[in-house]
Every structure is written in C-alpha cells, then in structure tokens.
Amino acid sequence: MLLLSYTARFNSQYGNTSLTALTSFFKLNGALAKIIKGYQPRAAQLEMAEAIEKAINSQQHLIAEAGTGTGKTFAYLVPAILSGKKVIISTGTKNLQDQLFNKDLPLIRRALNQPFVATLLKGRANYLCTYRLENSLTSHIGFSQFDAKALAKISAWAKRTVTGDIAEMATVADTEPVWFHATSTLDNCLGSDCDDYDTCFLVQARKKAKEADILVVNHHVLCADWSLRDGGFGELLPTSDVVIIDEAHQLADTASNFLGVTVGAKQFSELAEDALVEFFKDATDIPDLCTAAETLEHEVKDLRLAFGVEQKRGEWHEIENNPKIMAALTAVQNQLVRLTEQLKIASVKTKGLEACHKRSDELIGQLELMLKPADNKWIRWYETHKRTFSLNRTPLNIASEFQSFMQQHSATWIFTSATLSVANRFEHFSDNLGLSNAASDSWESPFDFAKQALFYHPKNLPQPNDVDCIPRLVEFAIPVLQASRGRAFFLFTSHRALKQAAELLEGKLDYPLLVQGTVSKNRLLEQFETAGNAVLLGTSSFWEGVDVRGEALSCVIIDKLPFASPFDPVLKARLDAMTQQGKNAFMDYQVPTAVIALRQGIGRLIRDVEDKGVLMICDPRLLKKAYGQIFLDSVPPMRRTRDIADVQAFFQQENE
C-alpha cells in the first residue's frame, strides 16, 4: 500500500467539496487562534482534517500518518465533532486518554460553536468498587500498616468522589497494589446481583458512554468491547458511526493479547484471597473452604518456585519437558478443583460466594484449555515475574478476525499515528489488521530537522553481539553527553544493557544520572525536567508516549536497532509460520517492526519548533547491512555526521 494522495483520490471520486468550516477553524485568525496564544496555522494539519472529514462523509476507512508536530489530535477531533456523528476515540494509554479528555476536548469546546457531549470511559479496574472496599474494611484477613492506612484514605475519598475514577486520588497512587481490594475485575464483579449496583461508578460511567457524542477510551477498553470478553461491554461499538484509533501502531499487539487467554498466579491467588474474605464473612461453618483456599495459595507459590528464579518468557515445551514444573502445575490444578467443590457447597449462602464458585469453575476451564495442545492458529507460552507467573494462549494472527469484525458494523475507522509506514509504505500495518480496503495518506512533520537536529553515527562501533559492546558504547557516548551538557535520553533495547551502562556511567559525568526502575516513570520524568541537565537511562517505556519539550532534552542516544528477540516465544512462532508460508520473515516482519520502534524512539528528540538536538544511533548495521538503508530512510531529514567534532560544534553554536 503506497503513500497515495487521499485528497486527490477523493476529489476524483466525490468532487471537490467545500470545507469552509475547517478552513475557518484552523486559519491564522480563526477560532483556534483566538484561544491558543502564538498559534500558527499548519498546512499539514488542515489537510489531515480535510482528509478525515471526507473519509467520515464517504464512510471510507483511512490510515492517516502524521509526523510529530502536525497537530493530529485537533486534526481528527474537529472534523469528528463537526460531523455530528457518534464517535469513539481510542488512545494508546490512560495518560493520553486523560490528556485528550481533560485538556484537548475542553479547549476545542471553547473554540467550536457547536454543542457536544463528551465522556471518558476507562477499564473496570480504574473505578472504585464500594462493595469490595467495604468487604476489605471489615475483613478478618488483616493488612499491613501501609495498606490499612491507604484503605482508610480510600474510604474517606469514597464518600466525596463523584466519578469513582481512582486517578483522582492524589494520596494513594493508582499503581498501588492495595487498589485490588477497592476495585473489581470481570471475575469478582457481582454485576446486577450486587447490592451497590444502582450506585456503581462503573455502571454510571458506561451509561454515560452510551449516551455521549464523543466517547474517549483506550485500546484496552476498545478491545474488551470488540472481543465481548468484559461483561457489559460489546455495547459501544455497534452504536458508533466513527471509530478513531490514535497511536494506532499499538493496536495489533493490544488486540492480540486481549483475544488470547491468560491464567496464572494473579488469578489463582486473587480467587483464593476473595474466597477467604467471603469465608470469614459468611461461611465459617465450612472450614474445608478455608483450608482449600489457603492450600491453593501455597501450591501457587510452589509452582512459581518450580520455574526457577529467572524472570523470562519461554515456549510451552519447556513446561512439558520439565517434570518439576508439570508436577507443581498438576498440584495447582487439583487444588483448584478442591476449592471449586467447597465453593459449590458454600455458593447457596451469598451472592459473593456464588460469584467465587462461578469464577473458580471458569478458571478450571481456562486451565484445561491451556493444557490442551494448541492448533496452528494459537501460540502457548509462559512468562515468569519476580513473584508471579502467567500461562498464555495467544492468537497467531488477528488480521482475519479484525477484518471480519469491521465488516459486521457500518462504522468508519480512522487509524492515525506518527509511525505507521515503513519506507513510505503501509503494508506492514495494514496486513497486521487485515485492512484491505482502507485508503492511506501521510503528512510530514512541519519541523525543520535540517536546522534543528544533527544525526551522529560514529565510526568503528562494536557489533551488538560483541561481549564488550556496552562498555565501548559508553565510551562513545560520554563525549556526546559532555558536549550536550547532560540533557539526554540514553535509550536501550534491554534492561540488562541499561543496568550495565548505568554502572559504567556512575561517577563519569558531572550531570544527574536517572535510571529507569529506581522510581516511577512519572517521577523520573519530573526529576529529569526539573534538573534541566540530567541523563536519563530508559528502555521501551521511554521510547514512546514521552513528551519533553525545550532544552532539558537536547540529545537522544539509542544503543542499537530495536529488533525484538527472535527467542521470544510469540515472535518465534509467528516467524516460523511466515517462513512456512514462503515469506521472508525477517524482511517482512522483523525489519518493519523494528523500523517503527526506532521511529518512535527518534521521535522523542524534536517535539517543538524551537527544539534542537543531536540523535546518536550506535548500531553499525545501519551501514554494514543492506537492510540498514530501510532504517536510514526512516530517519527524519537531519544533517548527518560521523565526526564527534560536528556534535561538539552543534552544541557550541547553541550556546552562542
């Protein structure tokens, strides 16, 4: 799928329609300029808005790539609102979702002379569950001093919150594990049987969502609705006229995860814990229930130990060929059956116990499905974390299912991101989602990269698989970090490389060294911007979705081309399937995926018209391998150098 001009193609099909409302909104003295100080019209933004308006009017699916600085959010929001149709907008993360709803939409509301109702809908776990909170406050299980204080704060907040959105809580971070005791999951929700159903925050949020003109969700919520996995969902998409997917490059992975099945320590342990809460509350006359729940918790911990201390992702045959793991897994399965039997006896007592029984019965079915040999449409694999593990069954390909889903509804789909194409083509993105009938267009960033940025690729770089690769890369990076006076992101493709580089850089720089994992991501970014001269070392979570403008970020160093590990069980299965189909898995899948990831990383550098900075990529394969040209063609049109003196001169000019 080439980068064809959507506007030209539309005009030849439908005629050159007048778009005065959009032109008026985005012009120099238009509605947007009146509320944004220093607003400057961008031709690409208007062109993108026009293309989206035409796509909506003609019910033509559209892939719209917009370079950094295009202003794509307003470019899709304005025509969507002006259309008067029911629109779902899905973002990649909850943070972007909050920004769009709390910042961008209110601004457009002020500028547009058109009323509309907008609503934010997050996943179930983001809303306070008053039933589970009350259960926790009266539980006999007991909590740590920290969790007990946190629950007391949550209880006080519960009396005054209007939305129940846990992101409102400033004193208890939404990442704290204690929220499990005050929120629900699909498994433990009582639904309409709950005594608090009529005042349930999630039910109220969903009701508003169905009534809204503009509904803002994230990809997880969207995929929940699509797959009908989450009770009460499956209601939003069929009633929508337009679906806009922002950060669309993330959608295939999210959908793939959601359409699969995952069971593991988290589900087993949470079931056991909830069963114990219900036991102490209403079933103390069934002591075998308590024993069964406690024993399941012990068996789950033993299974985690059987996997070994290493944290990794592995293929299913590693489980099947390990007698110790298989024995521990069988023990968990048997104990789950025993707990289910006891819950069945107790289920007649209360709705809470009935829900636990239903949940344990479903877990047995999921575990049995996991243990059955998968056909060639599914991949079985496992993942271990510090204290937990998960067993996963993932679809090999979602293209046909996604295409079938789109055909079932009449909505117009708009897919947008800064990184959807590879070497000016959209096949990789469209093939992953089965988008055979979508038009496409692309708008380049308005930034002047030739003036604002310098691309530095040193000579004599080590090969990525050299044993001394990271020490040598650090040697290459230090002069650049000294020239930039800190103010840098040093991005890595693995945690192991990051940790090694952090140890090597300790004490070598006169600037603050911030390392991912030492504090939360948001706190790390706050420290970085406040310091103004820090060097931040990060992995994948800092490659995208991070927006640092101004002098605080003037250098981005990338350790190597971001190829996913070929030993990853899901990727390996997909590559094997492509090879069996006669395709070149490396060129058709691994390279395009890595190109998009690299473009995301590069996109951290220049975020505004005033930004200036140096990009350094430390992988010799850019010039040594034939496929390197595909990556080079995906780098913005910066000046290029292989001489550190040019980097030093660049930053020297910045000071003058």
For the whole model, what pTM was predicted?
0.88
Position 375 pLDDT exceeds 90: no
Residue 49 confidence (pLDDT) above 70: yes
pLDDT confidence band for 230 (50 / 70 / 90): very low
Residue bearing the bigger pLDDT, 221 or 113: 221
Q: Does residue 549 surpass a pLDDT of 70? A: yes
Q: Is the pLDDT of residue 134 over 70?
A: yes
Q: Judge whether residue 69 has pLDDT over 70.
A: yes
Whole-number pLDDT of residue 543: 92
Rg (CA), the chain: 26
Share of the chain above pLDDT 90, in %: 73
Of 62-66, 145-149, 226-230, the poorest mean pLDDT is in: 226-230
pLDDT band at 17 (very low <50, low <70, confident <90, very high): very low
3-state SS, residue 616: strand
Largest Cα separation within the chain, whole Å, is 81
Is pLDDT at 538 greater than 90 in this prediction?
A: yes
Kindly state the tokens that stand for 285: 């006359």
Predicted pLDDT of residue 506: 92
Neighbours of 288 (CB within 10 A): 13
pLDDT in the model for residue 234 = 57
Report which of 98, 449, 72, 56 is spatially closest to residue 249, judged by C-alpha positions: 72
Whole-number Cα distances in Å, 30 to 84, 609, 628: 21, 21, 44
| Structure confidence by residue, pLDDT tens digits, 589-625 | 999 999 999 999 999 999 988 999 999 999 999 999 9
The pLDDT of 62-79, averaged and rounded, is: 94
The two tokens of residue 621 are: 């394969």
The model's pLDDT over 232-247, given as tens digits with 9 standing for 90+, comes to 445 777 789 999 999 9
Q: How far is CA 216 from CA 277, 306, 550, in A?
A: 35, 43, 29
Q: How many CA atoms lie within 13 A of 295 on its CB side?
A: 18
What is the arithmetic mean of pLDDT over 538-552? Answer: 90
Measured in residues, the chain has a length of 656
Give the pLDDT mean for 556-575: 93
**Euclidean distance between CA atoms 334 and 292, whole angstroms:** 10
392 or 547, which is more confident? 392
Determine contact, residues 615/453, Cβ cutoff 8 Å: yes
Instruction: Check: CB of residue 608 under 8 Å from CB of residue 615.
Output: no
Q: Are strands 488-491 and 535-538 parallel, antiparallel or unpaired?
A: parallel
Q: What is the token pair recorded at 478?
A: 């230090």
CB 371 within 8 A of CB 378: no
Please tell me the distance from the alpha carbon of residue 526 to that of residue 549, in angstroms, as a whole number: 13
Select the more confidently predicted residue: 531 or 541.
Answer: 531
Q: Please check the confidence at residue 512 and state whether its pLDDT lies above 90.
A: yes
Alpha helices in 461-567 (DSSP H): 469-483, 495-505, 521-531
CB atoms within 10 A of CB 345: 14
Q: CA-to-CA distance for 61 and 411, rounded, in angstroms? A: 9
CA distance 530 to 528: 6
Best CA proximity match to 194, nearest among 343, 348, 352:
352
Can you give the three-state secondary structure of 167-198, one letter per residue? HHCCCCCCCCHHHHHCECCCCCCCHHHCCCHH
CB 192 within 8 A of CB 354: no
pLDDT tens for 273-324 read 999 999 999 999 999 999 999 999 999 999 999 999 999 999 999 999 999 9
Coil, strand or helix at 626: coil
Domains, the chain, ordered by start: 6-123+212-257+397-443 (3.40.50.300), 128-183 (no CATH), 262-390 (1.20.120), 449-655 (3.40.50.300)
pLDDT score at 227 = 65
Q: Tell which wins on pLDDT, 142 or 253.
A: 253
Strands (DSSP E) along 421-554, which ranges? 439-443, 453-456, 488-491, 513-515, 535-538
Q: What is the mean pLDDT of residues 544-553?
A: 90
- Residue 516 is predicted with a pLDDT of 93
Mean pLDDT of 399-403: 87
